[in-house]
């Protein structure tokens, strides 16, 4: 008696009925079943190969992929939720890492934008400065980033790490751990780092895409939250009162600042500006002074630079603004003209830069070209 047959719905060939496998309403021959379907690695259910939500090595149905797996923030590798690693401050679990990248992140090459290791504080003082320096034009290159890290992290100290930044054309961001101003000036090998970046072909000021951002710890502004907020309010007032001078110092255009570091707007009282900021005034994290970080405020107005004197002068200016806002009352700050503020700047690099920018008590000095 002749054996019954069936026609495979996929390949169209005739096969013995005993070889028929029905899946998803289709009759399949053994070869098509093997080639066109896979088993979900998690639940064991058969799925079409074209519907595989995992990888070739770890096929997954949509449900198991959604419920039990994620991808590494750095390398994109598929990882089970139970194997994912998270950094200490990622309380919501938004940035998972595979075990390899978790161990390697920060020590080699360029990390993902959201990478943020536990801070290491360098120096002895109340106020610390974390620098984010963007460089562009010579490649988002792990080897070049590793060279920067090697120079900066001398003597086994972890001074810096590097991160991706989507606003750059062909570069990356150099980020320091928090350091006192004295440590930035005397211990952090900025001159060597900047010289190596230039040697490798990077620019910052001239790239027209780069910023220099400075984070300052909130607890340096007072012991209580009320003291800290009063000081921060005076910082915001200083920015609005002396916007034209700070714009000139920043080497940015008004149009650039409207995009990356917008104003909160002038008001008569410092607290009024802070209240306005808390209600959503300004540009959020893209404000001239970003207040959205829990532990720091971020000064964002400065254009990037690979010139040592300009970088150090920028840190000295931020220190001077913070100090004035800390020791002065609202009325004292309101009555202080820019000339008085500038006359109180004594750090050599800052004085030199203020003269170059024609911001120092009518004294002018020609400076070297920015890089």
Residue pLDDT, tens place only, 261-317: 999 999 999 999 999 999 998 889 999 999 999 999 999 999 999 999 999 999 999
Question: Is residue 369 predicted with pLDDT exceeding 80?
Answer: no
In a shared domain, residues 229 and 97: no
Residue 123 forms part of a structural domain: no
Residue 318 forms part of a structural domain: yes
Convert the pLDDT of each residue in 339-349 to its tens digit.
Answer: 999 999 999 99
Confidence of residue 198 (pLDDT cuts 50, 70, 90): very high
Q: Which residue has the higher pLDDT, 87 or 134?
A: 134
pLDDT of residue 153: 94
In a shared domain, residues 69 and 158: no
* Average pLDDT for 65-76: 90
CA distance 20 to 3: 13
In a shared domain, residues 245 and 306: yes
pLDDT of residue 116: 84
pLDDT of residue 93: 81
In a shared domain, residues 162 and 55: no
Q: Mark which of 105, 121, 137 sits at the end of a domain.
A: 105
In a shared domain, residues 32 and 56: no
Q: Extract the tokens encoding 332.
A: 């004292």
Confidence of residue 363 (pLDDT cuts 50, 70, 90): low
Residue 215 forms part of a structural domain: yes
Convert the pLDDT of each residue in 88-138 to its tens digit.
Answer: 667 778 888 887 777 665 556 898 888 888 899 999 999 999 999 999 999
pTM: 0.75
Question: Is residue 173 predicted with pLDDT exceeding 70?
Answer: yes
Mean pLDDT score across all residues of the chain: 93
The closest alpha carbon to 202, from 139, 149, 113, belongs to 139
Confidence of residue 364 (pLDDT cuts 50, 70, 90): low
In a shared domain, residues 134 and 223: yes
In a shared domain, residues 186 and 80: no
Q: Which residue has the higher pLDDT, 186 or 259?
A: 186
In a shared domain, residues 81 and 151: no
In a shared domain, residues 240 and 197: yes
In a shared domain, residues 195 and 314: yes
| CATH code for position 324 | 3.30.590
Residue 181 forms part of a structural domain: yes
CA distance 32 to 196: 58
pLDDT of residue 89: 62
pLDDT of residue 115: 83
Q: For residue 189, what are the contacts with CB-CB under 8 A and spacing of at least 6?
A: 151, 152, 154, 159
Residue 203 forms part of a structural domain: yes
Confidence of residue 222 (pLDDT cuts 50, 70, 90): very high
Q: Alpha-carbon torsion 61, 67, 71, 72, what sign?
A: negative
Question: Is residue 68 predicted with pLDDT exceeding 60?
Answer: yes
Looking at the chain, the whole-number percentage of residues with pLDDT higher than 70 is 96
Residue 113 forms part of a structural domain: no
The closest alpha carbon to 232, from 320, 319, 299, 326, belongs to 326
Domain holding 76, by residue range, is: 51-105
Question: Is residue 159 predicted with pLDDT exceeding 90?
Answer: yes
3-state secondary structure the chain: CCCCEEECCCCCCEEEHHHCEEECCEEECHHHHHHHEEECCCCCCEEEHHHCCCCCCCCCCHHHHHHHEEECCCCCCEEEHHHCECCCCCCCCCCCECHHHHHHCCCCCEECCCCCCCCCCECCCCCCEEEEEEEECCCCCHHHHHHHHHHHCHHHCCCEEEECCCCCCCCEEEEECCECHHHHHHCCCHHHHHHHHHHCCCECCCCCCCEEEEEEEHHHHCCCHHHHHHHHHHHHHHHHHCHHHHHHHHCCCHHHHHHHCECCCCCCCHHHHHHHHHCCCCCHHHECEECCCCCEEEEEEEECCCCHHHHHHHHHHHHHHHHHHHHCCHHHHHCCCHHHHHHCCCCHHHHHHHHHCCCECCECCCCCCCC
Residue 367 forms part of a structural domain: no
Question: Is residue 183 predicted with pLDDT exceeding 60?
Answer: yes
C-alpha distances out from residue 135 to 107, 144, 205, 260, Å: 19, 11, 9, 16
Question: Is residue 181 predicted with pLDDT exceeding 60?
Answer: yes
CA distance 149 to 156: 11
Question: Is residue 49 predicted with pLDDT exceeding 60?
Answer: yes
Residue 111 forms part of a structural domain: no
In a shared domain, residues 287 and 263: yes
Count of the separate structural domains present in the chain = 3
pLDDT of residue 85: 86
In a shared domain, residues 247 and 305: yes
pLDDT of residue 101: 77
Cross-strand bridge partners of residue 160: 176
CB 187 within 8 A of CB 124: no
* Average pLDDT for 26-44: 93
């Amino acid at each position: 008696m002749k054996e019954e047959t069936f026609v495979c719905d996929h390949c169209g060939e005739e096969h013995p009925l005993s070889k028929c496998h029905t899946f998803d309403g289709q009759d399949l021959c053994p070869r098509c079943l093997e080639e066109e379907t896979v088993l979900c690695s998690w639940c064991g259910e058969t799925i079409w190969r074209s519907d595989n939500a995992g990888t070739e090595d770890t096929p997954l149905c949509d449900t198991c992929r959604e419920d039990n797996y994620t991808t590494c923030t750095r390398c994109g590798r598929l990882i089970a939720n139970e194997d994912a690693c998270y950094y200490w401050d990622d309380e919501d679990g938004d940035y998972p890492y595979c075990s390899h990248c978790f161990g390697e992140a920060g020590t080699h090459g360029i990390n993902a934008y959201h990478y943020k290791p536990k801070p290491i504080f360098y120096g002895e003082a109340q106020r610390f400065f974390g620098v984010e320096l963007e460089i562009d034009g010579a490649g988002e290159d792990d080897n070049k980033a590793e060279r920067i890290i090697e120079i900066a992290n001398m003597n086994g100290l972890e001074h810096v790490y590097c991160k991706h930044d989507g606003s750059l054309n062909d570069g990356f961001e150099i980020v320091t751990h928090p350091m006192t101003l004295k440590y930035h000036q005397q211990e952090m090998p900025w001159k060597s780092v900047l010289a190596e970046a230039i040697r490798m072909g990077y620019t910052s000021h001239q790239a027209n895409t780069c910023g220099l951002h400075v984070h300052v710890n909130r607890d340096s502004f007072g012991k209580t939250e009320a003291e800290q907020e009063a000081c921060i309010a005076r910082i915001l007032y200083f920015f609005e009162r002396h916007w034209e001078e700070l714009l000139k110092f920043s080497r940015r255009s008004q149009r650039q600042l409207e995009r990356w570091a917008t104003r909160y707007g002038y008001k008569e009282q410092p607290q009024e500006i802070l209240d306005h900021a808390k209600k959503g005034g300004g540009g959020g994290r893209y404000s001239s002074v970003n207040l959205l970080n829990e532990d720091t405020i971020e000064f964002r107005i400065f254009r990037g630079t690979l010139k040592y004197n300009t970088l150090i002068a920028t840190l000295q200016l931020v220190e001077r603004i913070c100090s004035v806002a800390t020791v002065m009352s609202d009325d004292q700050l309101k009555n202080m003209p820019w000339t008085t503020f500038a006359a109180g700047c004594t750090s050599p690099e800052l004085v030199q830069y203020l003269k170059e920018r024609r911001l120092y008590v009518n004294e002018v000095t020609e400076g070297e070209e920015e890089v």
